[in-house]
């Protein structure tokens, strides 16, 4: 086990020049001094990988172009990597995770876990046979007020949950930008993204957030997925009726053709005694509605929140923390899991079970939409 008093040595897959999420991984991993970035396969192209190593202040000699090369170069080194972060397009998630786990490396990966459900179940087996930690960067659960929301529901503050609405509108794929933006190209390409487009890219965030906060599992759903932009194969707009455990109704919307929208993940959970709502537009706020219509807003870092929310707050109320900090809290949990607190996995920290559920959700949504019918989540599992 890695001692808790030093940073864990991390390698990053992806994050080459121009990439969005790779740089987030780099910043987040280092923010709380829990990791140091010592190697990476930042690109499949050697010169691009080396260039990014320089930009990341990583020894160029440790810039690789494949997981195999990285393992070959790092395993056995006294100062070799101990964990890897996967920030590549979906189609390589499985192969990198498999190789890394089998080499005894801890893994933290972008969602969706894999690009197919078959890969997801295969990965479940691999994780079951290793002592390594496997975690997923469902970013939004790193926000203090999401932790606070989850704790509020768990404490019974809301009473029995009766309705859940989660929406995730984006507008950046409103046009055929796949012809010009690399990040759009692979996300709209079934051979790289997998069976889901929008549903796999952001729908899973919405799904996971709803289950994470409410503690309720989706049991069945009826999905209406569309490919709104001409000639697009994968879905870019998703509207889904849900039923959670206990027959609790819900709605999930995710869209990448909601023109002008930025990244507006929002959730509302209605209970018998109180309701809560949160929006990524103002991540440091959590709102509670009362039966007398009063709306109470509590703020990250303030004395009004409980230990879970406070533990994920680095700054006092009124000092905004954002996306990088939320991501960093997931990295901190990942470090904790590696350094002894394995119990965090699939509890506070999304792990293999969460990843598998999300893949089943994607598969069920796609099947439901094709059949234009309600479907049980489990029906998608064969």
Q: Which of 71, 165, 193, 337 lies at the binding interface for a copy of itself (CB under 8 A)?
A: 165
Q: How far is the CB of 354 from a copy of itself (least distance, A)?
A: 22
**Does 182 contact a copy of itself by CB under 8 A?**
no
Q: How far is the CB of 141 from a copy of itself (least distance, A)?
A: 15
**Does 249 contact a copy of itself by CB under 8 A?**
yes
Q: How far is the CB of 59 from a copy of itself (least distance, A)?
A: 12
Q: Where are the beta strands (DSSP E) in 130-265?
A: 134-136, 161-169, 218-226, 237-244, 248-255
**Does 241 contact a copy of itself by CB under 8 A?**
yes
Interatomic CA distance for residues 13 and 354, integer angstroms: 21
Q: Which of 89, 196, 200, 283 lies at the binding interface for a copy of itself (CB under 8 A)?
A: 283
**Does 3 contact a copy of itself by CB under 8 A?**
no
Is 250 or 351 the residue whose CB approaches a copy of itself more closely? Answer: 250
Binding mask 10-49 for a copy of itself (x = CB under 8 A): ----------x--xx--x--xx-x----------------
Which residues in 97-136 contact a copy of itself (CB under 8 A)?
Answer: none
Nearest by Cα to 275 from 265, 289, 286, 296:
289
Q: Edge-to-edge strand order for the sheet containing 83-87? A: 35-41, 8-14, 83-87, 106-109, 134-136
Interface with a copy of itself by CB under 8 A: which range of 95-103, 111-119, 188-196, 299-307? 299-307
Q: Which helix (H) or strand (E) holds 100?
A: helix 93-102
Q: Which of 59, 79, 296, 378 lies at the binding interface for a copy of itself (CB under 8 A)?
A: 296
Is 186 or 323 the residue whose CB approaches a copy of itself more closely? Answer: 323
Main-chain phi, psi angles of 238, to 5 degrees: -135, 130
Interatomic CA distance for residues 62 and 65, integer angstroms: 10
Q: How far is the CB of 151 from a copy of itself (least distance, A)?
A: 16
Which residue's structure tokens are 């192209």?
45
Q: Where are the beta strands (DSSP E) in 184-274?
A: 218-226, 237-244, 248-255, 266-271
CA angle 207, 220, 350 (to 5 degrees): 30
Q: How far is the CB of 268 from a copy of itself (least distance, A)?
A: 8
> For the CA atoms of 25, 27, 32, 37, what is the dihedral angle to 10 degrees?
70
Is 44 or 282 the residue whose CB approaches a copy of itself more closely? Answer: 282
**Does 231 contact a copy of itself by CB under 8 A?**
no
The contacts of residue 6 (CB under 8 Å, 6+ apart) are: none
Q: Which of 64, 299, 334, 361 lies at the binding interface for a copy of itself (CB under 8 A)?
A: 299
């Amino acid at each position: 086990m890695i001692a808790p008093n030093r940073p864990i040595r991390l390698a990053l897959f992806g994050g080459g020049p121009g990439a969005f999420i790779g740089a987030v991984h780099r910043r987040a991993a280092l923010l709380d001094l829990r990791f140091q970035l010592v190697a990476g396969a930042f690109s499949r192209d050697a010169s691009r990988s080396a260039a990014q190593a320089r930009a990341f202040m990583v020894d160029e000699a440790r810039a690789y172009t494949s997981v195999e090369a990285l393992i070959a170069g790092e395993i056995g080194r006294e100062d070799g990597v101990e964990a890897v972060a996967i920030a590549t397009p979906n189609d390589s998630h499985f192969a990198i995770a498999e190789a890394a786990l089998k080499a005894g490396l801890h893994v933290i990966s972008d969602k969706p876990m894999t690009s197919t459900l078959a890969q997801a179940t295969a990965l479940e087996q691999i994780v079951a046979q290793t002592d390594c930690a496997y975690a997923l960067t469902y970013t939004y659960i790193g926000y203090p007020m999401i932790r606070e929301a989850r704790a509020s529901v768990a404490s019974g503050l809301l009473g029995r949950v009766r309705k859940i609405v989660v929406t995730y509108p984006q507008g950046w794929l409103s046009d055929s930008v796949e012809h010009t933006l690399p990040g759009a190209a692979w996300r709209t390409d079934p051979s790289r993204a997998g069976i889901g487009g929008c549903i796999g890219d952001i729908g899973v965030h919405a799904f996971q957030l709803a289950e994470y906060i409410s503690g309720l599992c989706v049991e069945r759903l009826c999905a209406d997925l569309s490919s709104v932009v001409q000639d697009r194969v994968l879905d870019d707009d998703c509207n889904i009726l849900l039923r959670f455990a206990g027959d609790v109704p819900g709605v999930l919307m995710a869209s990448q053709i909601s023109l002008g929208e930025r990244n507006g993940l929002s959730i509302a959970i209605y209970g018998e005694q109180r309701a809560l709502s949160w929006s990524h537009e103002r991540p440091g706020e959590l709102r509670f509605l009362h039966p007398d219509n009063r709306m109470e807003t509590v703020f990250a870092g303030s004395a009004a929140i409980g230990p879970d929310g406070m533990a994920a707050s680095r700054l006092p109320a009124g000092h905004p923390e954002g996306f990088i900090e939320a991501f960093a809290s997931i990295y901190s949990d990942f470090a904790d899991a590696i350094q002894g607190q394995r119990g965090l996995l699939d509890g506070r920290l999304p792990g293999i079970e969460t990843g598998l559920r999300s893949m089943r959700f994607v598969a069920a949504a796609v099947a439901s939409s094709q059949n234009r019918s309600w479907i049980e989540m489990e029906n998608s599992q064969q």
